[in-house]
Chain A
Amino acid sequence: MIELNSNIPAGPVEQKWDKHRFDMKLVNPANKRKYDVIVVGAGLAGASAAATMAELGYNVSCFVFHDSPRRAHSIAAQGGINAAKNYQNDGDSVQRLFYDTVKGGDFRAREANVYRLAQVSVNIIDQCVAQGVPFAREYGGLLANRSFGGAQVSRTFYARGQTGQQLLLGAYQALERQIALGKVKMHTHAEMLDVVVVDGRARGIVVRNLLTGEVTAHSADAVVLATGGYGNVFFLSTNAMYANVTAAWRAHKKGAAFANPCYTQIHPTCIPVSGEHQSKLTLMSESLRNDGRVWVPKKQGDNRAPSQIPESERDYFLERKYPSFGNLAPRDIASRAAKEACDDGRGVGPGGLGVYLDFAESIKRLGQKTISERYGNLFDMYQRITDENPYQLPMRIYPAVHYTMGGTWVDYNLMSTVPGLHVIGEANFSDHGANRLGASALMQGLADGYFVLPYTIGNYLAGVKPEKVDVTTHPAFTDAVRAVKAQGEQLLNIKGKRTVDSFHKELGKIMWDKCGMARSREGLQEALVEIPKLREEFWRNVNVPGSGASLNQSLEKAGRVADYLELGELMCRDALHREESCGGHFRVEYQEDGEAKRNDEEFAYVAAWEWTGDGQPQRLHKEPLVYENVKMATRSYK
């Protein structure tokens, strides 16, 4: 049985990280090269961690399933990255960013982690600028900021609508530099399919080369997973097509507890679904809410064109319900309000699943040129997809799955319940609680990768001797390789009647309907019956064409969907057990005047689930959340 020990250092929150950095053991510079570290994933967290650890002197091997480390989905983040720089002189501070993030997370995040995140946020901006990230600037040459949801200060740094891309390219370039120097060995087209545990420690991974089908084992002294989130369990999400839970899930099955799986972020501003064929949803940056006003008609079933609806018959529902934050209310709140309006029959567009995001007033106030400078690429993107011109017609938006706050449980050192297995970025659960604020994902990924893990992994490595394992003979490795190969063959041999995607779509629909924006006991219980049934059919009736010996995109997908079919069940179980509403987790039974009703007495804990075997329900462990610095209060954005 696992034990949860958060390893939060003692002392006042402002001093924990400094003190911990002094208390941690160090690895002598000459000894660092004796340690091998495996990093899986090269998004913001993975690339920054791999590059930084290589700079420190460790031997790093980095594995990605893409053809290049530059393709990770961090690249799609649009709006920006938060940092407590207070460059705008508007009252920001580390303390305020800390407070906003804890409150934004609906008091379900670990205080000590969040404080550290706010502290290192300032270093991230310095580091990225030094790398040549072209953040937006003022004419005088100073950095520009914009405001984002859930905050009343302007602390978001941005590079047009491509902030994630520019930050990732910075980390990618740092990584490529280390590859050129021979300090990082890069493995592309390599999908991690298992973690290998030897004597209770994570000692390596098993990967399948997606081009040749070859399955190989790789050993190291520590393993780092930076494999992103699992929003694609819903089939339709803003995530990239390849984003998946497989690495994290296989680690879960090897003993890493999975925390808060039901905390899913539904992003309020996405382009609505247009038809059955749709493969993914497109996000429109939250920054649009700086200048766009969200509204629906006051009357139900009002089919008039938006320009025909007079001001007095429009309901600017965010401004009405949350006057102090208005259109910049946090994502969970804004999404739920949009859903409410649509459920009330006042939605717009096909199927009534949409609300307007209107720029008419801003265009009048600032001119089309300014709006186009700020959001031109987003407007173009919208027009390409919908064939409507957002300079003339209000955008139609609807919430969509965007980010998962849950993930592998880690302690303060970002180590999972498997010693030596570290998990960073979206893949872990630690910093966002039950809801993530806009522009905080980039901050967390880079904080983990540049400034936290490179220290804390040293503390772990200093306590273990660097030793090699022979992956060709050690039974833990050979068994794992055999199991991975067997699963591939099993999938290929089913030769059933349904495509992998049809299972994925069906699972996604169950998840969206029953474990999406609003969850009920009844619905979740139904899902807990439906998902195992679907899983059983999958293993009996899926059709995976081709062979395992070359590039086979159906086979890749099948393995991932197999994992989603297990994860989905755990998400529903977690959602069912958490009898409260908090952040992205909204249970219809627990609300007050339409607002989420938290239950701090009973649920102020992290739910960490332990794998107990195939077909068995996971075992729940609780890490109590202690708030010493922020008073738990009902979250209000009114």
Chain B
Amino acid sequence: MRLTLHVWRQSGPNTAGKLETYPMDGVEADMSFLEMFDMLNDKLTLEGKEPIAFAHDCREGICGSCNMMISGQAHGPWKGATTCQLHMRAFKDGDEIWVEPWRAKAFPMVKDLVVDRSAFDRIIQAGGYVSVNTGGARDANEILIGKEVVDESMDAAACIGCGACVAACPNASASLFTGAKITHLGLLPQGQPERDRRALAMVEQMDIEGFGHCTLTGECQEACPKEISIDVIKRMNRDYAVAAVRYVEPKETAGAG
């Protein structure tokens, strides 16, 4: 099939970028969207032009690297799929496709379609973990967790950190990402001791990074390749509010003697 691509090209963080148009021919329905980009890049290379930089790695929808805004939809038109899982049979001959990077202040531009998503790492650093050092764990079956609870926790834990939620959100909010981690750990017994601290610290970091707020448009849930529910945002809000009221920083007196 023939397609017309409009792809965002920008040589670096501090230069101006623009949409370049590339006519494509010989695209096959069985190709993945990224394989079409491979084809385009091969062509550009042989023409002596610089290929388009784009993030990708596993190409099976789990590493969270790929991030294309495809004609206004994060990861393109297929629900519950990443860009690398999108196949060209989603399009038809003669289609025009716009490809842009995720756009958010908290995701600074790197090059072409590549942006810096390290803000997500810093949100996790703020508290997205259970503080247990290696070696001290008790037997795994001593902690009883009902199937329903662990399933709900797993739904949230499925987040791949791709940033589609931010990209699709009209406010560039990271609420779905942050809420997913707070929900994953907040539902489990292992996550209880640090639940308040975690919610406070992660939400604060999310704000520091410059993400917007949640207006519950539902766009994130729709764009999420793992179909994480906005229920996780509800949990984050509640956990944050409860923590804001009841959490008191511990006094620095422990360990005396």
Direct contact of A and B (CB under 8 A): yes
Which residues of A are interface residues toward B (Cβ below 8 A)?
A: 48, 51-52, 55, 66-73, 75-76, 85, 87, 123, 125-132, 134-143, 159-160, 162, 165-166, 169, 172-174, 176-177, 179-180, 186, 188, 211, 238, 240-242, 274-275, 277-280, 282-283, 380-381, 384-385, 387, 450-451, 454, 499, 501-502, 543, 545-546, 550-551, 553-554
Type the 1/0 row for B180-197, where 1 means its CB is closer than 8 Å to any CB of A: 000011001011000000
A280, A283, A543: the one within 8 Å of B45 (CB): A543
CB distance from A194 to the nearest CB of B (A): 23
Can you name 28 A-B pairs with beta carbons within 8 Å? A48-B134, A52-B133, A68-B118, A68-B121, A70-B161, A71-B63, A85-B140, A127-B132, A127-B134, A127-B135, A129-B143, A130-B130, A130-B137, A130-B143, A132-B129, A132-B130, A135-B140, A137-B146, A141-B145, A174-B129, A174-B134, A176-B121, A238-B60, A275-B30, A501-B38, A545-B44, A546-B51, A551-B114
Type the 1/0 row for B59-99, where 1 means its CB is closer than 8 Å to any CB of A: 11111110000000000001011000101010000000000
Known: A241-B56, A454-B134. A384 touches B78 (CB 8 A): yes
B124 at the interface (CB under 8 A from A): yes
- Assembly CA distance A70 to B180 (angstroms): 15
A499 adjacent to B42 (CB under 8 Å): yes
Q: Which residues on the B side are within 8 Å of A179 (C-beta)?
A: 121, 125
- The chain A residue with its CB closest to the CB of B85 is A384
B110 at the interface (CB under 8 A from A): yes
B49 at the interface (CB under 8 A from A): yes
A140 adjacent to B144 (CB under 8 Å): yes
Q: Which residues on the A side are within 8 Å of B110 (C-beta)?
A: 211, 551
Q: Which residues on the A side are within 8 Å of B117 (C-beta)?
A: 67-68
Q: Which residues on the B side are within 8 Å of A48 (C-beta)?
A: 134
Which residues of B are interface residues toward A (Cβ below 8 A)?
A: 11-12, 28-32, 34-35, 38-39, 42, 44-46, 48-51, 53, 55-65, 78, 80-81, 85, 87, 89, 110-111, 114, 116-118, 120-121, 124-126, 128-141, 143-147, 150, 153-154, 157-158, 160-161, 184-185, 188, 190-191
A67 adjacent to B51 (CB under 8 Å): no
- Assembly CA distance A246 to B173 (angstroms): 38
- Assembly CA distance A176 to B31 (angstroms): 36
- The chain B residue with its CB closest to the CB of A544 is B45
B141 adjacent to A143 (CB under 8 Å): yes
Q: Which residues on the B side are within 8 Å of A186 (C-beta)?
A: 121
Most buried by A among B11, B12, B30: B30
B38, B64, B128, B140: the one within 8 Å of A143 (CB): B140
A75 adjacent to B45 (CB under 8 Å): no
CB distance from B145 to the nearest CB of A (A): 5
B63 adjacent to A75 (CB under 8 Å): yes
A240 adjacent to B57 (CB under 8 Å): yes
Known: A70-B161, A451-B134. A134 touches B121 (CB 8 A): no
CB distance from B173 to the nearest CB of A (A): 20
The list of the 5 closest CB pairs from A to B, nearest first, reads A141-B144, A173-B129, A130-B137, A126-B137, A129-B140
A554 adjacent to B51 (CB under 8 Å): yes
A545 adjacent to B48 (CB under 8 Å): yes
Known: A130-B132, A211-B110. A240 touches B58 (CB 8 A): yes
CB distance from A218 to the nearest CB of B (A): 20
- Assembly CA distance A52 to B134 (angstroms): 6
B42, B128, B146: the one within 8 Å of A141 (CB): B146
B153 adjacent to A134 (CB under 8 Å): yes
B34, B42, B58, B124: the one within 8 Å of A176 (CB): B124
- The chain A residue with its CB closest to the CB of B121 is A68
- Assembly CA distance A135 to B144 (angstroms): 12
- Assembly CA distance A193 to B12 (angstroms): 24
Q: Which residues on the B side are within 8 Å of A129 (C-beta)?
A: 137, 140, 143, 190
- The chain B residue with its CB closest to the CB of A446 is B134
Q: Which residues on the B side are within 8 Å of A550 (C-beta)?
A: 11-12, 111
B44, B121, B143: the one within 8 Å of A70 (CB): B121
A385 adjacent to B87 (CB under 8 Å): yes
- Assembly CA distance A545 to B52 (angstroms): 11
A162 adjacent to B158 (CB under 8 Å): yes
CB distance from B190 to the nearest CB of A (A): 5
CB distance from A536 to the nearest CB of B (A): 21
